[in-house]
Amino acid sequence: MLSLLLTALIWGFAFVAQVQGMDSMSPMFFNAALHAGSTVFGADSAVDAWPGERG
């Protein structure tokens, strides 16, 4: 139950952030920034989970 509440809370804050972001920048720049941030955080997670030797 707590995870559902947390998901709804994050979803709601993300919606507000997207609305505010779209008011202050162009849609193409907003989309590029969104994907760049996703790439950075996704790459960090992928490197941590990648199997193999670690230096």
Neighbours of 39 (CB within 10 A): 10
* 8 Å CB contact between 30 and 21: yes
Residue 15 has pLDDT above 60, yes or no: yes
Name residues whose C-beta falls within 8 Å of residue 22's C-beta, 6 or more positions apart in sequence: 30
pTM of the model: 0.51
Name residues whose C-beta falls within 8 Å of residue 21's C-beta, 6 or more positions apart in sequence: 30, 33
* 55: confidence class by pLDDT, cuts 50, 70, 90: low
Query: First vs last Cα of the chain: how many Å apart?
Result: 40
Helices (H) and strands (E) in the chain, counts: 2, 0
- How do residues 31-49 score in pLDDT, each as one tens digit? 898 899 889 888 877 777 6
* 9: confidence class by pLDDT, cuts 50, 70, 90: very high
